[in-house]
Amino acid sequence: QRLKLSVCNKICYAIGGAPYQITGCALGFFLQLYLLDVAQLDPFYASIILFVGRAWDAVTDPTVGFLVSRSPWTRIGRMLPWILISTPLAVLSYFLIWYVPPFETGKVIWYIFFYCLFQSLQTCFHVPYSALTMFLSSEQAERDSATAYRMTVEVLGTVLGTAIQGQIVGMANAPCLPGPGEIVQKRSNAKHFVAPSQKAAYMIASGVICLIYILCAGVLFCGVKEQKGETLYLLNGFKSTTDTQTPHAFFQGIRLVMGHGPYAKLVVVFLFTSLGFMLLEGNFALFCSSTLGFRNDFQNILLVIMLSATLAIPFWQWFLTRFGKKTAVYVGSCSVVPFLIMVVCIKSNLYVTYVVSFVAGIGVASAFLLPWSMLPDVLDDFKVQNPESTGHEALFYSFYVFFTKFASGVSLGVSTLSLDFAGYISRGCSQPKEVDLTLKLLVSAAPIAFMLIGLAILYSYPIDEKRRQYNNKMLQEMRDSEADSESETTEISNMI
């Protein structure tokens, strides 16, 4: 008996991936702006919050992955209980991130606590959700199809997160404060004033996202049935690995994974390219509103980038199958460089910025798709070289996520700290020249430098199309050999 998935099952599973992308986009694009201009925090403290939150998020991924792999089977499955229990707590903590507490002392602790708490609970949702793919069906084609549905919904989730947060917040822009050359008294009187409508807008946006989070989790829980791992292995004609092998110790698994050369190189490559794109993501809203002067339009510019990236995903999928994945990384990353230079060199013009943002979004799409497309190749290469070593799939993915999230924490922390040194003025109608220069470096020169370093390391990445096809051939032979062995064993048992 084969476990087939209906289209409804696949859609329900895919919808479960939306909360991670929606909340991630809202936090990535808007949290820095919110902490500086609405919560009225000093840039130094904002940098601490952003770094600690992202670093904590990075640590929780492998930790939760390890705990999930050790969790017992229940009546509703092994993964679904994690999703069910974490959802209401994650929603509450996310909402409180966007609430400005009525006190000044302890405000930094408030944001660090709820930001870290949300990241932990979000990880308790997303790691089991990602692993749930392997417990949907006994057929690889069915799991691949469900993953394709999931990727489509996740890309749409990035657009939805940007649209909800940006459009609601954009309707309540607070008046800016006089710049350094204007009346100082006015600025000091208004320094700690934030329009109630602006605070309310952030809370309304977070409330809408919380509602979507709950609905998506509910659809996932009601529409997906988790199949027990042993059942899937037996239906495929294989013995369960849990029956035949003792799991490797956690740190032994880490040594095996990180000691695999192609994986280490790929992680370093995407560590640098991700640093570039994360610097761009974390500072672009501030750059548009402060340096370019588009305080009332920055949310629309961000939406254009994400819409463009969404539309470009099919193009990059075609490109990597036609020309190879390494070539796609080179072309995708390099295609962004001219437009990052243009956006800081050309005189501020809204229409030019829209065009540049749309074209840059095409390159951003490659950064979204290609890492997840290349990681399975590294896994296949590892299996070919280590046929007796199994059960490390979660470690490959969780440590890639760990390094990229840690890098994003460093990038956001350092960039916000740089604004503090440059003399950033919260909600200033104009900023000191040092701030404008810093923002230009953070959205142009620094991302370009990190991308070029990553591409230079990619040159030595050993898995090309020829090696990838060889690995696929070897894995197929290994599967056929194991299936024949199991069939012979079954025949002998029946004869006896």
* Domains and their CATH numbers in the chain: 1-244 (1.20.1250.20), 251-490 (1.20.1250.20)
Cα–Cα dist 176/168, whole Å? 18
- DSSP secondary structure letter of residue 136: S
What pLDDT, on a 0 to 100 scale, did the predictor assign at position 240?
41
**Residue 6's Cα: distance from chain center in Å?**
28
Query: Left (φ > 0), alpha (ψ -120 to 50) or beta: where does 463 sit?
Result: beta
pLDDT for the residue 453? 93
The lowest-confidence range among 4-8, 364-368, 387-391 is: 387-391
User: What pLDDT band is residue 482 in, cutting at 50, 70 and 90?
Assistant: low
**Which percentage of the chain shows pLDDT scores above 70?**
83
Q: Residue 34: which of 191, 209, 173 has the closest Cα?
A: 173
**Each residue of 242-253: pLDDT tens digit?**
444 444 556 676
Name residue 77's beta-bridge partners.
Answer: 74
Quote the pLDDT of residue 135.
78
Grade residue 111 by pLDDT with cuts at 50, 70 and 90.
very high
Per-residue pLDDT tens for 131-150? 787 777 766 667 767 877 88
Tokens 């708490």 appear where?
Answer: 117
The residue with tokens 């280490």 is 264
Residue 298's pLDDT is what?
78
CB atoms within 10 A of CB 418: 20
Task: Please state, as a whole number, how many other Cβ atoms lie within 10 Å of the Cβ of residue 323.
Answer: 13
Name every residue whose Cβ is closer than 8 Å to that of residue 87 and which is 6 or more positions away in sequence: 125, 213, 214, 217
Q: Please report the pLDDT score of residue 230 as a whole number.
A: 43
Do 249 and 395 touch, CB atoms closer than 8 A? no
The band of 484, judged by pLDDT with boundaries at 50, 70 and 90, is low
Segment among 108-112, 116-120, 234-238 with least mean pLDDT: 234-238
Percent of the chain surpassing pLDDT 90: 17
pLDDT of residue 187: 43
Q: What pLDDT is recorded for position 185?
A: 43
d(CA 374, CA 270): 10
Over residues 407-459, the pLDDT tens digits come to: 777 887 888 888 888 888 776 667 788 888 998 999 899 999 999 999 999 88
Report whether pLDDT(282) > 90: no
- DSSP annotation of 259: T
Under 8 Å between Cβ of 440 and 447 = no
Q: What is the mean pLDDT of residues 394-403?
A: 75
Longest dimension (CA), the chain: 97
Q: Beta-carbon neighbour count of residue 246 at 10 Å?
A: 8
Between the alpha carbon of residue 460 and those of residues 45, 199, 324, the distances in Å are 40, 50, 15
pLDDT of res. 492: 60
pLDDT at 470: 86
Burial class (CB in 10 A: 0-12, 13-18, 19+), 175: exposed
Q: How far apart are CA 87 and CA 101, in angstroms?
A: 23
Only one residue has tokens 């994986």, namely 263
pLDDT exceeds 80 at position 45 = yes
pLDDT digits (tens, 9 = 90+) for 176-234: 655 555 544 444 444 454 556 788 899 999 999 999 999 999 999 998 888 765 444 33
**Residues 96, 203: Cα–Cα separation, whole Å:** 9
Q: What is the pLDDT of residue 448?
A: 92
Task: Quote the DSSP letter at residue 391.
Answer: S
- Residue 331's contacts (CB-CB under 8 Å, 6 or more residues apart) are 319, 323, 366
What is the pLDDT, as a whole number, of residue 414?
83
Structure tokens at 467: 């090696």
Q: What is the pLDDT of residue 495?
A: 60
* pLDDT given for residue 178 in this prediction: 59
Q: What is the mean pLDDT of the chain?
A: 80
